[in-house]
Amino acid sequence: MLNHEDILIGLLYTVGDEGIEQLTLSEMLKVTSVELDDLIKSYQSSVLRITKYGSRYFLGVVPELNPFINQLVTHEVERKLTQASMETLAIIAYNQPVTRSDVESMRGVNSDGPVKTLIEKGLILTKQEETRSQQLYTSDYFLQVFGIESLDELPSDSTAENEQEMEQFFKTMNDKGE
């Protein structure tokens, strides 16, 4: 039989970075706010911590784990993008906002895989449901990864010489680990 602590940790783990409202936790555990606070204060783990920001609770780890987590996150981010993902990213960067249909028309092939990868890596964003008319655009993280402050810093695409410059720019960035 699960106790309140087990349910609490399971719920916090499930909601992840979004956290969960204090009132929602109290209702789900069928405890008062005071009882919830007491439960959280009594929770002991060598590596996990429950923190409260505003009215939301979050499950996190002790600061001593940060070097290991940073190493893992850096390793995941450093995995290179495929040629298809780089082509898709370049199309989106230079034509945004652009639809999936437009990307596929420009590439001449289905781009579902590369688009999904770019969204997962946080390099592109969308505000709509996953459809062919979905508007795609680059994220602030894209700017950070490519070391630029605005899209104006991307190489211009107006001449053949600049097309080589663009290709070299994206290749260099990919060689650095993205």
Pairing of strands 56-61, 48-53: antiparallel
- Label residues 81-100 b or e (16+ Cβ within 10 Å = b): beebbbbbbbbbbbeeebbb
Type of residue at 176? K
Within 30-158, residue ranges assigned H as helices are 33-42, 66-77, 83-95, 100-107, 112-120, 140-145
The domains of the chain are located at 4-72, 83-177
For the domain bounded by 4-72, which CATH number is listed? 1.10.10.10
Identify the pLDDT of residue 159: 47
pLDDT tens digits, residue range 17-54? 778 999 999 999 999 999 999 999 998 888 999 988 88
pLDDT tens digits, residue range 129-169? 666 678 999 988 888 777 777 888 887 755 445 556 656 66
d(CA 155, CA 89): 14
Q: Is this prediction's pTM over 0.75?
A: no
d(CA 12, CA 125): 26
User: Is the CATH code 1.10.3720.10 the one for domain 83-177?
Assistant: no
Dig out the tokens for 67 from the structure.
């070097």
Dig out the tokens for 133 from the structure.
């008319």
